[in-house]
Amino acid sequence: MKKKSLSRSNKKYYFSTKDLVTMAIISSLGGVLSTYVGYLGNLINRFFGVPFGAGQFMSGLHMFWIIFAIGLLNKKGAGTFVGILKGFVEFLSGGKLGLFVILLSGIQGLIADLSFLPFKKDSTTGYVIAGGLSTAANVFIFQLFFAPYEALPLFVTISVIALISGVIFAGLFPKGVVELFKTKPEEGDKKINLKKGITIGIIVIFALGATSYYLTMPLGREGIDISGNVENSYVYYPSNFRDQEITVNAELIGDYTHIEAKDYSGVPLKYILEKSNPIGDKITIIAKDLYQVNFSIEEIYENHEIIIKEDYGSFNLVAKGYEGGYWIRDIVSIEVD
């Protein structure tokens, strides 16, 4: 072995060995106790007589470890690190969410890290906001991937429960515990002001409640924005056009995909456009992934068989007679030029 050629790493590591060991041990303990937190959650579910949901009262305890690590180490990135590592521990010890938990807790850790950024290290507000936000995020992420809370009122209720749980169990609780275990020399007794903490908590809950309500509005009702050079910009909702639905039989011929002729039901794009009284003569249809295609108003008006079909809240264009590239998916807006 050519030992002399080895470069001794002189640079100071960002995370010292002690930091790494601390994060590893906290993740391990957090992973092990996630079963216990689940057990407490089940007790609540049973108490309220529901199969799941009320357990969100305890969901802040899953985030406790991430916030605790951030508070103890006071280094950026500690939250994400512990989030991912704790996810790995839960995944490998057979957690009920499988692989998904790594993603979930990693994102939660990142959110916690980011929420802490604007605050001083000992700021109670920082703990409360990071704890509340990152805990509530679990409901959002879950909804995004598995859509268990399909109804808006249910979704909002669960999110608020998670938020409250986060403020208490992932905000105030770790703040107190960090103070208990900080090995740094004591600087007088800086007790957390519980009243102040709760006041901040309530304000945060209201603020976030309002924002999340606004943000999740489209969740229950998806629509397409119709705007640009029109007299009347509006949002298209299929429920307002139910009686204008037609069925067309079309065949898709793409470069790589081919789908035999079959029936599609939807609302002709013509009617949708007409309602906005377009002034321009060209339209651009834009998808969620920013893919876009252009048509002239004229061709749309002449062709009744270009329809917009709704699939589980997303909108797809069935462009009969056009090649595959025009059959655009996940439409979010239509702009008129």
Residues 136-195 that bind another protein (CB under 8 A): 145-151, 154, 168-169, 173, 177, 180-181, 183-186
Measured distance CA(98)–CA(102) in Å, rounded: 8
3-state secondary structure of 267: strand
Q: 116 or 173: whose CB is closer to another protein?
A: 173
On the CB side of 167, how many CA atoms lie within 13 Å of its CA? Answer: 19
Q: 235 - beta bridge partners?
A: 225
At closest approach, how far in Å is the CB of 118 from another protein? 27
Single out the segment in contact with another protein by CB under 8 A; choices: 106-114, 122-130, 199-207, 255-263: 255-263
- Please identify, using beta-carbon distances, which residue of 120 and 239 lies nearer to another protein: 239
CB atoms within 10 A of CB 331: 23
Rg (CA), the chain: 26
Closer by beta carbon to another protein, 197 or else 278: 197
- By CB under 8 A, the residues from 100 to 119 that bind another protein are 100
The pair of three-digit structure tokens given for residue 93, joined into one six-digit string: 């010890």
The answer to whether 42 and 58 have CB atoms below 8 angstroms apart is no
Binding status of residue 311 toward another protein by CB under 8 A: yes
Indicate the residue among 214 and 312 with the shorter CB distance to another protein.
312
> Is the Cβ–Cβ distance between 112 and 131 less than 8 Å?
yes
Cα(54)–Cα(67) distance, integer angstroms: 22
- Quote the least distance from Cβ 293 to another protein, whole Å: 8
Cα 265 to chain center, whole Å? Answer: 31
* Interface pick for another protein out of 287, 300, 307, 308 (rule CB under 8 A): 287
Interactions with another protein, residue window 23-82 (CB under 8 A): 23-29, 31-33, 36-37, 40, 43-44, 47, 51-52, 57-58, 61, 64, 68, 81
Q: How far is the CB of 253 from another protein (least distance, A)?
A: 11
83, 86, 74: which is closest to 123 by C-alpha? 74
Listed ranges 112-120, 127-135, 297-305, 320-328: which one lies at the site for another protein (CB under 8 A): 320-328
